[in-house]
Structure 1
Amino acid sequence: MSKKQLGDIHFRDPYIVVDQGRKKYYLYGSTGQNVWSGKALGFDVYESDDLAEWEGPIPCFRPEPDFWSDHHYWAPEVYEWEGRFYMFASFKADGIPRVTGVLAADQPQGPFEPWSRALTPQDWECLDGTLFVDNSGDPWMVFCKEWVQVQDGEMYAVRITRDFKEAVGEPILLFKASDAVWSVGGGDNQQNYVTDGPFLHRMENGELVMMWSTSGQEGYTMGIARSASGQIVGPWIQDPEPLFAKDGGHGMLFTTLEGQLCLTIHAPNKHPQERPVIFRLEEADGQFILLDQMK
């Protein structure tokens, strides 16, 4: 198995798990070669000691012949929870709306197996589910209802059971893509607004913020929404300026083994040039400051 640098890995929607026990990093993503069309092979993971060289790809999910979905395997996010590893990811089949489902494994490198078919409503076109645990220890999933169904993409939160099997109650609308002044509509009438890639983070000052991505003036753009209540239900207020506006996004935060806060996104957003990118960053007065890009 070869070792690669980030520039050699064709992933969209990168997600990095830091395993303190193993002293390893695990990188997941939407496989670039067949992300938009064609039958999906599954999900791969790369493993690293230092964030510079990555060993892989390691197949971590390959669907059995009777698995219901065969394309649009997108945005895998992996969480360690009560002794196991769970992957939230998007799945679709012809004639069946896209969902966020859950896979499970005993190790971060898999193999992952089907766990919950869908945590999103069966008649909604959804994607990019991300886990959030509230102050009471209850798990929620934040996800996008796609613009192809609602035109102005929507962001929702739904409480889920502790075993990640089912949703609890109805999804709660948090905001719409057009609520951000830096979101740019597309399509013939410029009214198609995208919601992508939510990621929740509790700032050092206690503020709850959400990274999310959409189309902007210079291509794919990622900005910040802030919960005025500090709770998942909001209300959510959009920052007036995006965090990253130069054709990159779908970001998440992680802290290195040495304690450095980092952001990973894919950039550019043009197929097939998408690659994972890592930036060091810091918090100051409730704001993120992008530092240098890791090479």
Structure 2
Amino acid sequence: MTPIGRRALIGALGAAATVPLAGGTSLAAGEPPSGLRMNEFWAHDAFVVADRSTGTYHLYHTTPEDSPEPQLVTFSYRSRDLVSWQGPYVVFRVPEGNWAKDGGWAPEVHRYRGRWYLFVTLHDADAELAAPPRVPYRTHRRGTIVAVGDSPAGPFTPLDLERPHTPDTFMALDGTLFVERGQPWLVYAHEWVQRLDGTMEAIRLAPDLTGTVGDPVHLFKASDALGINQVVTADAAPLTYVTDGPQFHRGRTGDLLMLWSTWMGPSGAQYYVQTQARSASGTLAGPWEQRPVLVEDNAGHGMPFRAFDGTLLMVLHHPFGSPDSRAQLYELHDAGDRFELGRRRRDLDGGDP
């Protein structure tokens, strides 16, 4: 079977295509492609929900830039065994009247207080933001929204049509949910485009996730990553100092670990990496200590999840960029104060495209 990349996804969304919506309705009659391996469909910023109540894995990914859908949508694929997948399904449509015009980046779905919540990054390139001093880039409205549904299959409804949940004057992305002692937090990356040295930050969420409370809390900056100072020269481009994809895991010893991604390498020869950090206090407040890079091969934006057999896995995309990004699976070993990378599960993800 030939790989289903962005072009094939667009074909699957055409007039003769079948893209079922959550709840059983479809864009066209029939069923979407089934029997797909992970290396046969495009998946950037992959996120996997293992829903034990239905025995189903749901994989969400960033919306293709050239999707022909008239409204912004979020897609998912479904599997019973991580080997054979069916999709794409549409789980979310940005309603008219929403502030966003583009995006659909890094969708992820979390269960909270009996319901399911979609976190996805949208933007409006026409809404320019004031750039801080020394920032040479054009900055515009970008942030993570939160939408609610009754199932990981959606459909999801935005909690706020007027603004993102991340601070409205920030270029922010990759927001995720973290709950600490009952208090929900939105953890996100504050863009290097606006900061030069991107940061990881957190802001309190209201108990019902409808909004935020108080000011952002700084966790760490991108240039803290192990290896950055050793390989980056003084004239390196700001692109080097990137924060992407925060994801949390409580280690077997109680340590709080975070997977996150950045760019490394000298100016002109940078590559995307999957790295990690540990909170010295065991709480979100940190301080955060950086740990060794896990995957260097122009791969990243990983997230940990438990397979139904109990195996701790990490899904990430490789390579970085379109149209070739594919989801890949690795075993993760919980060493307590850090992750250790296990074997690549080519038996599940189908190997390299």
Query: Could you tell me how far 1:14 is from its partner in structure 2?
Result: 0.6
TM-score of the two chains, using structure 2 as the length reference: 0.78
Aligned-partner Cα distance in 2 for 1:137–1:232: 13
Give 1:226's aligned amino acid.
Answer: R
Aligned-partner Cα distance in 2 for 1:262–1:271: 24
Query: Could you tell me how far 1:270 is from its partner in structure 2?
Result: 3.3
**Residue from 145, 160, 163 that aligns with 2:205:** 160
- Runs of 4+ more than 4 Å apart: 184-189
Deviates more, 1:139-148 or 1:176-185: 176-185
Alignment partner of 1:148: what SS?
helix
**Residue from 258, 281, 291 that aligns with 2:332:** 281
Q: Is the 8 A contact 2:226 2:293 kept in 1?
A: no
Q: Is the 8 A contact 2:276 2:339 kept in 1?
A: no
Aligned-partner Cα distance in 2 for 1:237–1:270: 29
Give 1:234's aligned amino acid.
Answer: G
**Residue from 90, 93, 98 that aligns with 1:59:** 90
Query: Could you tell me how far 1:186 is from its partner in structure 2?
Result: 9.7
**Residue from 245, 264, 287 that aligns with 1:216:** 264
User: Which whole-Å deviations, capped at 9, do the CAs of 1:227-267 have from their partners, x for residues lacking one?
Assistant: 1111101111112x211111100010000111110000001
Aligned-partner Cα distance in 2 for 1:52–1:86: 26
Q: Is the 8 A contact 1:39 1:71 kept in 2?
A: no
Give 1:210's aligned amino acid.
Answer: M
User: Which whole-Å deviations, capped at 9, do the CAs of 1:82-102 have from their partners, x for residues lacking one?
Assistant: 221100110111333101111
RMSD (CA atoms): 2.1
Match runs of 1:54-203 below 5 Å: 54-96=85-127, 97-116=141-160, 117-134=163-180, 136-183=181-228, 189-192=236-239, 193-203=241-251
Higher strand share: 1
**Residue from 30, 42, 60 that aligns with 1:28:** 60
Change (3 A) 1:187 1:32: farther
Q: Is the 8 A contact 1:185 1:215 kept in 2?
A: no
Q: Is the 8 A contact 1:17 1:78 kept in 2?
A: yes
Give the greater-gyration-radius structure (CA).
2
Q: Is the 8 A contact 1:32 1:274 kept in 2?
A: no
Change (3 A) 1:100 1:248: same
Query: Could you tell me how far 1:118 is from its partner in structure 2?
Result: 1.9
Q: Is the 8 A contact 2:276 2:338 kept in 1?
A: no
Change (3 A) 1:175 1:197: same
Query: Could you tell me how far 1:63 is from its partner in structure 2?
Result: 2.2
Segments of structure 2 that go 5 or more residues without pairing to the other structure are: 1-31, 128-140, 348-353
Match runs of 1:255-266 below 5 Å: 255-266=306-317
Aligned match of 1:290: 341
Alignment partner of 2:151: what SS?
coil
Aligned-partner Cα distance in 2 for 1:179–1:261: 27
Q: Is the 8 A contact 1:45 1:59 kept in 2?
A: yes
Give 1:41's aligned amino acid.
Answer: L
Match runs of 1:231-250 below 5 Å: 231-239=283-291, 241-250=292-301
User: Which whole-Å deviations, capped at 9, do the CAs of 1:49-100 have from their partners, x for residues lacking one?
Assistant: 0001111101111223323212121011101112211001101113331011
Aligned-partner Cα distance in 1 for 2:324–2:233: 22
Alignment partner of 1:66: what SS?
coil
Percent of aligned pairs with the same residue?
39
User: Which whole-Å deviations, capped at 9, do the CAs of 1:106-127 have from their partners, x for residues lacking one?
Assistant: 1111111211342211111000
Segments of structure 1 that go 5 or more residues without pairing to the other structure are: none
Give 2:259's aligned amino acid.
Answer: M
User: Which whole-Å deviations, capped at 9, do the CAs of 1:29-58 have from their partners, x for residues lacking one?
Assistant: 1034549xx986310111100001111101
User: Which whole-Å deviations, capped at 9, do the CAs of 1:166-191 have from their partners, x for residues lacking one?
Assistant: 11110011111011132466997423
